[in-house]
Amino acid sequence: MHKRIDADGAVVLRRPLTTTAKKRGHQGPAELLHPAPSRSGLTLAAERFFLAFLPPVLLIVLVVARYVVGTRLGFDYKPLWEASRHVLHGASPYPPPHAWALHDEQQFVYPPVAALLAAPLAAFPFGVAAALLAVVEVVATGLTLGVLGVRDWRCYGVTFLWYPVLQNMLIGSITSLLALGLAVAWRYRDERRVTTFVAAALVATKVFLWPLLFWLAATRRGLAAARALAVALAGVGLCWALIGFAGFTSYPRLLDQLSRLEQWKSYSAVAFGLVLGLSTGEARALAIVAGTIALFGVVVVGRRRREAADADRRAFVLAIAAAFLFSPIVWTHYLALLVVPIAITRRTLTPLWFVPLAMWATPGQSEGHAWQIVLGLSVWVVVLAASWRPAWPLFLFRRRTAALSLS
């Protein structure tokens, strides 16, 4: 018997040619005896099931389940949809800066730019607008990977299995759009016009991304950073002028009140400090110190951009880390932003792509439970740390061991 591996990975056994067949110049017919899939064939089948078939099926099941239980799509989008309608009519979209007005998490707390940018969808009934936004989020996630040069289809599949990404689509948050903005800002970082307007839109829409401006300034793109800041401030001012600056003076108090009400049940550094037994002030101070260290790292690493090839990337990852550290609230869907640092450093499937899957163990809010806060915080810390320094000592040790074993 002669054994060979066919194109599908199956083991094919051939009988030896008979003397008669050899004399006639014919090869004997290939007789398949008990074909067994090879290890590579089983791996490919598993990849196709878990990373190609399962993600769309899971998304459809989750959407249908929400409608069955009466939850529907767009829990987070509802305040934004209503705010867009208010802004178009020149009315204030903001609630009073008091705890009683923020108890059900259904209030608009973004800068007014977000309401204006979302205005086109506000022309539709809420149910239609929420479904359209979910489609936009799916497309935005795919575009984010494409913009960053990811061509491995398996990376797309595992990303659509992340609970933060799926939750973002289901509740109608804008995190996937922010991730796309970060991807564009990185991809076209040396194109001043693109970077200026993209960075301005990101900061004006979601204030906690302001460390992105530090990254631009630290990597000798100070003019782009200054222009982005000016455009962001002008955009916010113009949008507030459209509603007669209603809620302008009370907006800082609104954010502070919101943070005090909800920071304890998120996955932020502040929540971690509260778990350690610190007071609210001490927990916030801990987060500020950690964020400041990350910003200092952005400046130090960014100034070495011309000397070190990867300094730009490291400074960018540190800027994202600073945004997470400074934010008193880090919801589950915030972790959908992690697709950007992973895709920048790993364009093919590696174990790091699977780390955010751990958030399936703590879906939704942490509700102040220590193990959930530690798990959620560990996910984004591990991803950002690994993206900042892809070659860890343990990995280098394994490579050296493998090299010695081959020599």
CA 122 to centroid of chain Cα atoms: 25
Give the pLDDT score at 319.
97
Instruction: Write the pLDDT tens digit of every residue in 62-109.
Output: 999 988 887 889 989 999 999 999 888 878 888 877 766 676 677 888
Average pLDDT over residues 322-327: 97
CB 287 within 8 A of CB 268: yes
Give the pLDDT score at 12.
47
Give the pLDDT score at 391.
62
Kindly give the interhelix angle for 370-388 and 311-326, rounded to the nearest 10 degrees.
Answer: 160
Distance linking the first and last C-alpha atoms of the chain? 35
Give the pLDDT score at 247.
83
Least Cα distance to 179 among 322, 337, 317, 321 occurs for 337
- Cα→Cα distances 109→60, 95, 99, 103, 117, Å: 30, 8, 13, 13, 15
Integer Cα distance of 322 and 299 in angstroms:
12
pLDDT at 245 over 90: no
pLDDT at 329 over 50: yes
- Which residue is it, tokens 């954010």? 255
Instruction: Write the pLDDT tens digit of every residue in 143-181.
Output: 999 999 999 999 999 999 999 999 999 999 999 999 999
Instruction: Write the pLDDT tens digit of every residue in 113-147.
Output: 999 999 999 999 999 999 999 999 999 999 999 99
pLDDT at 25 over 50: no
Exposed e or buried b per residue across 71-97, where buried means at least 16 C-beta atoms within 10 angstroms of its C-beta = ebbbbbbbbbbbbbebbeeeebbbbeb
User: In the structure encoding, which two tokens stand for residue 211, read together?
Assistant: 């460390």
Mean pLDDT for the chain overall? 86
**Which of 268-277, 335-344, 379-388, 398-407 is least confident?**
398-407
Check residues 271 and 245 and name the one with the higher pLDDT.
271
Phi-psi region of 364 (alpha: psi -120 to 50; beta: other; left: phi over 0): left
Check residues 42 and 325 and name the one with the higher pLDDT.
325
pLDDT at 2 over 70: no
Integer Cα distance of 382 and 333 in angstroms:
17
Instruction: Write the pLDDT tens digit of every residue in 252-286.
Output: 888 888 888 899 999 999 999 999 999 999 999 99
